[in-house]
Chains A and B, each alone.
Chain A
Amino acid sequence: MILLFYAIINAAAVVFFVRLKKRLHILEVMMYWFAASYMYQNLSALCYMNFKTLIIPDQLSYELAHFLSRILLYPALIVVFLHVYLGLGSFLAKLLLAVLYIGLLTGLEWMDHWLGVVVHKNWHFWWSLVFWLSTLLVLLGFMTAFRKILFRRNVPK
């Protein structure tokens, strides 16, 4: 049942993402997707395997539910964040978007907790806020750098 629920929300996220007319080049979408997923997988792996502050139940359905979210749902949402960010002009609007997104991603992380997919143990709530803020900042930095590389005109040597 839990896997079905996660399969539906992940499929919905992917369908929404595919239908969205994006401001990002296809190669950008791929790179930011991979980077976002890698960030979240690292947090999950370190906290689950090393610090024992995240618990994934010993059942295939829970692991698959978490697996789907870390390679589809979270990266898709973060790439949409970058897409919306590029369309905003003022600093205040960008700041508001970042605050909304930190709330959304933290909310999803704690939905995982309440549904028993990824259970937080000895966890301080502010760690979640700091992680998602850091993730968005890293992705914004990566986007700025990659766009500089991708869209400069290349002159053969």
Chain B
Amino acid sequence: MNVTFDWNEWFAIFASSIAFLNFLIVRGYFSAAMVVIVVMYNIFLVSTIDYFLIATPFKVYIFGDNPSYELSGGLFHLFMYPSASLLFLFLYDKFELYGHKTVWYILGWTCFALLFEWICVYNRFLVYTGWKLYYSIPTYPIAAVQLILLYRFATRKLLQIGFDNHYK
């Protein structure tokens, strides 16, 4: 393990802080139960995928300076992805981007996510050791559809136990 505190760590802190600020703004729209569900789901999903692809035998990318489990990667798992997912769901639900609007919405988020991934690579927060940016193209729409399905499922189940999703 050879962790040095340099620009990519600062990048992770800045990006996670901005994402967390977004979280603070939008979390009030959802019930506490929904926030826990979305956050926990995201932490599980991204840590599972990242560990699967970073570990042997694939080793297709690393976070930060070396192939260890760096704090910067943990910051993204705990703050960036859950916050981005809540923002995604907030805009989806608040502006009722249902039906064919969902397709355009997911397309827009995919473009944004790819741009953000490229920024991560440019800032050497994410270092490809076999991965290519275009491999990520199908992953974002799949993740977005899964997230919407989870949200709709959780909303339905919460309503069944007398839980209005939009109130704490």
Contact = CB atoms under 8 A, between A and B. Distances in A.
Given A27-B154, A59-B57, A45 B37 contact: no
Interface bracket on B: 20 to 34
Given A50-B1, A50-B69, A63-B56, A146 B48 contact: no
Contact of A49 (B33, B44, B55): B55
B53 to A, nearest CB: 11
Contact of A149 (B1, B36, B57, B157): B36
B57 A37 contact: no
Interface residues of A, number: 35
B3 to A, nearest CB: 9
Contact of B161 (A34, A35, A57, A151): A151
Nearest to A61: B57
A57 B57 CA distance: 8
A34 B43 contact: yes
B43 A25 contact: no
Interface of A: 25-27, 30-31, 34-35, 37-38, 41-42, 44-46, 48-51, 56-60, 63, 67, 71, 146, 149-151, 153-157
